[in-house]
Structure 1
Amino acid sequence: MSPTGQPPAAPQTTGHEWDGICEYNNPLPRWWLYGLYATIVWSMGYWVLYPAWPMATGYTAGLLGYSQRATVLGEVEAVRKERDARGRAQLASATVAEIRADPALLRLALATGKAAFGDNCAACHGSAATGRIGYPNLQDDDWLWGGTPEEIERTIRYGARSGHGEAHLGDMPAFGRDGILQPAEVEAAATYVLSLSGKPGVAGASAEKGAEVFANTCAACHGPEAKGNPELGAPNLTDAIWLYGSAPEQVVATVTNGRKGVMPAWEGRLDPATIKSLAVYVHGFGGGR
């Protein structure tokens, strides 16, 4: 009996029966059905507004053009830029010595310097920084203007004969072209300086006469022992490193016509953090002192 005292109504069945077991026909509640229908309609809206259907070469972008992947990548990039900005601010405010002493800043400086070198310096010095005639090899330990990190930074920042007020100055005069030395004296001087590094000189020229010419004309810049002077950008003439070539005719051309190579000033073209990073990176080649 039901609570009302009436016999319970006979249950409705679908008419299906298996081994005496009947399948009841109990319709779902209307609220549940309406909810189902609403989700179907809602899903159709998603199909139209958001990426939904795979295609042969992509997917439907939807009217809103929303991409969760793009959103996540954008957030990651924003975090990276913020981190880089903080790191670059630290690079800009730190000295080169402080950068080299901080492992995290050093890693950032080397990565920044490598990218900047490839973009700005490799065209002259080569991708491996080994240089070529007229462009110094940065892998060795021969530096016209000094090879400490601070000296390298100054050279990058202001350049040499670049026109900047703080640039390195100092020219190799055109001794032969300007009539300061006679051709025979030029050849003798070339023969003498080549002999200092064990190289053959100009045929028929006297190294003894060249030593006299060197003492009277060249020692003021290169030093009495021809070891060079970084303050003037005068190279060491006793080693085997020759910026403009060590063949006798090349050395004669240098003494005759002089050299006035230009290193551009990167201040104003590169930010302070990049310049310091370049100094650290170049010094790390192994040729820095």
Structure 2
Amino acid sequence: MNKLYLLGIIITVIMLGATYLSVGMSKGGLNGDIVNMLAVAGAIALVIITVFVVIKYVRQMQTDTAEGELADESWDNIGEYKNPVPMGWAIMFLGTMVWGMWYWVAGYPVNAYSQIGEYNEDVAAHDKKFESQYASITGDRLVEMGESVFLAECKVCHGIAADGIDGKAANLNVRLEEKTVKAVIENGSNNMLLGTEMPMPDRNGLFNANSGALITDAEINTVAKYVANGFPASDKAGAEVFAGVCSSCHGMDGKGMAYVAPDIHEFTPELVINVLTHGKKGAIGQMPAFDRLNAKQKEAAAAYVISLSKGE
């Protein structure tokens, strides 16, 4: 046997033996962990490939002579042969690409343990347990749960008293403020308040059926006060504008129509849940969606907000 091959075999055995001893003597060994198994497999592959390549090219340098067609270009009179890519290199290159795709998609890290993955699994399991445990809660207990959700998630913007902290967020003690009504009439709305994409047009699409003309600034101010004050019977002018412009979608009582327009007279569970689910852009700014809340928590928050507007 050629001394070079013999030396390669000896080096390979020594390196593989050292790898085995280092893994076998470590605490727990492989322990069935795919990461450790991949690391050891990679180490073995590197040892064998490295020794094989070194032997091949050392042997080639000992025996081969330069041959083939030289390229036309040269650098400092140093030419380059037009040799094809060695088949072994091509196979190794393609094999490495295939292994790399498997490693990232099926091996590691996509298929590996992660703290984020464990956290998400724990949260999903907790939410499932939560939903089954509190699914039947209604009435006062639901409002109490909603208060806890509000204090944990909503008070930062809306304040502990849900008054909007001097205009930094909507005042949830009332259904709508005058500035909010004006902003919606001026700019329209497409906030998924019905859970579907049913936009309300801006002022350029709002006609007063009584006059047959687009809504005016004076009419906007009048109807905004009417809606914000809770549809008072004493406000004849506001009621007249509302009937001519808004009632065709929101109803004469302002309680909305299914699939057409939301209730603007008072909060409803569906309305609050949709705002929490989709977020909302209003006169003050953009409220984000609260994806981290589960369905029961949103229902509870809605019950608490409704209780505030009713003064309970």
Scaled by the length of structure 2, the TM-score of the pair is 0.33
Q: Which structure is higher in RCO with an 8 Å CA cutoff and minimum separation 6?
A: 1
Scaled by the length of structure 1, the TM-score of the pair is 0.35
Report which of the two structures shows the higher radius of gyration computed on alpha carbons.
Answer: 1
Report the structure, 1 or 2, having the larger helix content.
Answer: 2
